[in-house]
Amino acid sequence: MKQLGFFDVEERLSRLSGLGDQLEAFSRTVNFEAFRPDLDKALAYADGSKGGRPPFDPVLMFKILVIQTLNNLSDERTEYLINDRLSFMRFLGLGLSDRVPDAKTIWLFRERLTQAGAIDILFNRFDAILRNAGYLPMSGQILDATLVAAPKQRNTNDEKTDLREGRIPQDWQDKPAKLSHKDRHARWTLKFTKAKRQEDGSMPATDLAIPFFGYKSHISIDRKFRLIRKWKTTDAAASDGARLREGLLDKSNTASTVWADTAYRSKANEDFMEKQGFVSKIHRKKPHLRPMPRHIQRSNAGKSVIRSRVEHVFADQKSQTGLFVRTVGLTRATMTIGLANIVYNMRRFLLLERINAAA
For residue 176, name the pLDDT band (cuts at 50, 70, 90): confident
Q: Are residues 91 and 210 in the same domain?
A: no
The whole-angstrom separation of Cα 233 and Cα 187 is 13
What are the backbone angles phi and psi of residue 11, rounded to the nearest 5°? Answer: -65, -40
Residues 232 and 279 in one domain: yes
Same domain assignment for residues 201 and 276: yes
pLDDT tens digits, residue range 226-265? 999 999 999 999 999 999 999 999 999 999 999 999 999 9
With bands split at pLDDT 50, 70 and 90, how would you rate the model's confidence at 1? very low
* Mean confidence (pLDDT) of the chain: 90
Same domain, 197 and 112: no
Query: Does residue 176 lie in a domain region?
Result: no
**Lowest-confidence region among 22-26, 170-174, 200-204, 279-283:** 200-204
The whole-model pTM stands at 0.90
Q: What mean pLDDT is predicted for residues 85-90?
A: 91
- Domain CATH for 131: 3.30.420.10
Kindly state whether residue 140 falls inside one of the protein's structural domains. yes
Asked whether residue 332 is assigned to any structural domain, the reply reads: yes
Q: CA separation (Å) from 212 to 85, 186, 191, 233?
A: 35, 10, 6, 16
Is 27 exposed, middle or buried, given 0-12, 13-18 or 19+ CB atoms closer than 10 A?
middle
pLDDT of amino acid 51: 57
Quick one: pLDDT at residue 298?
Answer: 94
N- to C-terminal Cα distance for the chain?
A: 47
* 60 and 127 fall within a common domain: no
Rounded to 5 degrees, φ, ψ at 220 are -130, 125
One domain for residues 145 and 20: no
Which tens digits make up the pLDDT trace of 50-66? 656 778 999 999 999 99
Percentage above 70 pLDDT, the chain: 94
Q: Do 56 and 33 fall within a single domain?
A: yes
Q: What is the pLDDT of residue 149?
A: 94
Statement to judge: residues 232 and 90 lie in one domain: no
Number of structural domains (the chain) is: 2
Position with higher pLDDT, 315 vs 196: 315
Segments forming the whole domain that contains residue 84: 7-116
* Same domain membership, residue 128 and residue 99: no
| 111 shares its domain with 130 | no
Is 162 a domain residue?
no
- Please report the pLDDT score of residue 13 as a whole number: 76
DSSP string of 174-222? T-HHHHHT--SS-EEEEEEEPPPPPTTS---SS-EEEEEEEEEEEEEEE
pLDDT confidence of 3, banded at 50, 70, 90? low
Task: Judge contact between 191 and 126, C-beta under 8 A.
Answer: no
Which pLDDT score, from 0 to 100, does residue 50 have? 61
Are 347 and 313 within 8 A, CB to CB?
no
Q: Is the pLDDT of residue 91 over 80?
A: yes
